[in-house]
Amino acid sequence: MRTVFVTGAAGFIGANLCYELIRQKYNVIGLDNINDYYDISLKNARLERINNLTKKNNLGWKFIKGDIENKRFLEEIFKNFKPEVVIHLAAQAGVRYSIKNPSVYVSTNLTGFNNVIECCRNFLIKNFIYASSSSVYGGNKKIPFSEKDPVDHPISLYAATKRSNELVAHTYSHLYGIPSTGLRFFTVYGPWGRPDMAPMIFTKNIISKKPIKIFNYGKMFRDFTYVDDVTEAILKLINKPATSEKISQDILNPSLSWAPHKIFNLGNSNSVSIMQFIETIEDELDIKAIKEFTDIKPGDVEITAADTEKLNSWIGYKPSTSIKKGIREFVKWYKFFYKIEN
């Protein structure tokens, strides 16, 4: 039974991933600091769901509360549990919040990331998978975004920290041979999602008959990616660590490396207008939203769209859950979790 160490285990993607890893008989060590960036009770409920699964089936699961900024604490986890695979999802999330509180992004997303990858180096981890973000594409106008595109113009501190993670990971892969894979997530949504993200905000306000703010006057498009698709891709990547490629260093391609380091877009390959997304939620709830149109926020981009051919070529998988199906499952969970009667 392989041991997988997942940071950010009480987070949206992390908790869904841990649940599926355990179902598939992996031995899972989960770490999270359970901070109060958003509702702690939701994080605890995610963990309780995992605990119920493991108690019922006597499967391997150990949750540890702690912080990736504490390097000695991390080293003890690696020493005691000897993970074979590390999936690093812990981070301070949120583009807009990074403008209000930049210091926490530096301490968590930079110092914390370096602590984790240092442990991977010192404990000879054979497969390191980490979360990046579509936000690294910043001011790029070419659509869809490709891993071949330059990512040198981030427009938020959050994006800058994620790009920094990619650069550090590549350096460690080059210097120490650590197989590392960065995943540029594109607007992940679904059951157990974060309250600060659009699907939760929209659904809550529509049900409560409160206005929803629609930025850039509705001229926004996102490559919404269902969380189960993300989890399935990561599961495949666990069994296929990054490898080096034979390339010419005379003309470097941002998507390729001589080091065992790869970066993949993980999106739905189908950019949807924010207005269509809202209409789909309205249809599922059978309630019309009260819409309040406003300017685009600093750090936001108008369009995200993922070219996922590289991921498909590597693991033979392309996320495919439709918006209609994904929203139906999300709304079903939302009503159940928040006890909303039809």
Please report which helix (H) or strand (E) contains residue 78, including its range: helix 71-81
The residues near 87 (Cβ < 8 Å, ≥ 6 apart) are 4, 5, 6, 7, 17, 129, 130, 234, 238
Distance from C-alpha of 210 to C-alpha of 217, rounded to nearest angstrom: 18
Distance from C-alpha of 109 to C-alpha of 103, rounded to nearest angstrom: 10
The residue written with tokens 């006597």 in the block is 58
Task: Give the distance, in angstroms, between the CA of residue 167 and the centroid of all CA atoms in the same chain.
Answer: 18
DSSP string, 199-247: HHHHHHHHHTT-EEEEEGGG--EE--EEHHHHHHHHHHHHTS-------
Distance from C-alpha of 90 to C-alpha of 87, rounded to nearest angstrom: 9
Active site positions, annotated = 158
Q: What are phi and psi of 221, to 5 degrees?
A: -130, 135
Compute the 3-state secondary structure of the chain and give helix, strand, coil in percent, each to the nearest 5: 45, 20, 40
> Which of 323, 42, 87 has the alpha carbon at shortest distance from 194?
42
